[in-house]
Amino acid sequence: MAWIVLIIAGMFEVLGVTMINKLNEKPSFKNISLFILGFAGSFGCLSYSMSYLPMGTAYAIWTGIGTAGGAIVGMFFFQESKDWKRLVCIGLILASAVGLKLIA
């Protein structure tokens, strides 16, 4: 269960980061609310997960999901570069996260 909550924490992190970009484009009550929800949900779920998982592993997985997810959202919704080198780096982040899960 802690692993599922950790993945949810990473998805909330992606929401929070996405909303930072949306707030820069257009500040609105909806964007501010989703920004707060994203980071509150992210830290809440991360905190729960760290009660059951090693801190280093949980934090690395959480940041990996946030980093890769933020880059992917940027590519698809904010016209960021889809260069193959970026995709390889995202793949390395995800492979590292899977590796940590397998040895944890």
pLDDT tens track for 52-80: 999 989 999 999 999 999 999 999 999 99
Average pLDDT, the chain: 94
Mean pLDDT of 71-94: 94
Mean pLDDT of 30-37: 97
d(CA 64, CA 89): 11
**CA angle, corner 72, sides to 70 and 78, nearest 5?**
85
% of the chain at pLDDT higher than 90: 88
97: three-class secondary structure by DSSP: helix
**For residue 104, is pLDDT > 70?**
no
